[in-house]
Amino acid sequence: IQKFLNLYGDHIDPHRKFVLQLFADDWGQYVDLPKGFAVGERCKLRLVPLQNQMTMLGTLTPSSTVFFCCDMQERFRPAIKYFGDIISVGQRLLQGARVLGIPVIVTEQYPKGLGSTVQEIDLTGAKLVLPKTKFSMVLPEVEAALAEIPGVRSVVLFGVETHVCIQQTALELIGRGLEVHIVADATSSRSMMDRMFALERLAHTGIIVTTSEAILLQLVADKEHPKFKEIQNLIKASAPESGLLSKV
């Protein structure tokens, strides 16, 4: 850690908290190291910021934002509450991402058993579509894709299920110093209780819980934005409330 600070101390806040991780060949990803560990041979280590000392203001710009679409798959259709509404809003977000040139990363949870992303979701232009078994979207391939996008600061996250894959993804991302925006009207669970308690928990951790229209308008920010008309056309009809109003 001291060597790291000697090398990069001019570029980071030395009071920021970090966790030391080791690349585990067996898992194919980085894992946390316990206190008192010993290094016996050459290995790959990294320091990961645990928290951001600055207050999350929730600002969004297209150049520093990436969209994460999580596990919007066919086999979830009969089980997820308001799944049709979630699909509709998710497609609206992906259309907005294409209009604004925002990279999109998509995962599919065990597609062999749960099927591919639903046909209504157009994945044209997605930077990465990746199968997974881990609940979180934060996989080595996803981290590599993020590293290829210069200046990424914010992740807009939506999909299913709110209390499992969405929650675990969001917590891992903020642990890596990224600002996370969860789109409440584009994420759901099999149970409304699980959905609402997850959104409440995530809001308490500094994650921004917001809506699809708020996200899209924040990204254009100005009526004079060259893409404003195209975004306006996407939101002319209000997004379905997908059961959220009954729980407010």
Round to whole Å and give the CA distance between 65 and 103: 8
Given a contact cutoff of 8 angstroms between Cβ atoms, the answer to whether 53 and 13 are in contact is yes
The residues assigned a catalytic role are: 71, 132, 165
Residue 64 has pLDDT above 70, yes or no: yes
The secondary element (H helix, E strand) that includes residue 157 is: strand 154-160
Domains for the chain: give ranges and CATH numbers: 1-49 (no CATH), 62-235 (3.40.50.850)
Tell me the C-alpha distance between 2 and 81, whole Å.
49
* pLDDT (tens digit per residue) in 147-201: 999 889 999 999 999 999 999 999 999 988 899 999 999 999 999 999 999 999 9
Pairing mode of beta strands 18-24, 45-49: antiparallel
| Confidence (pTM) | 0.79
Of residues 214 and 6, more confidently modeled:
214
CA 207 to chain centre: 10
List, for residues 191-231, the tens digit of each pLDDT value: 999 999 999 999 998 899 999 999 999 999 999 999 999 99
Residue 106 sits at φ, ψ, to 5 deg, of -125, 135
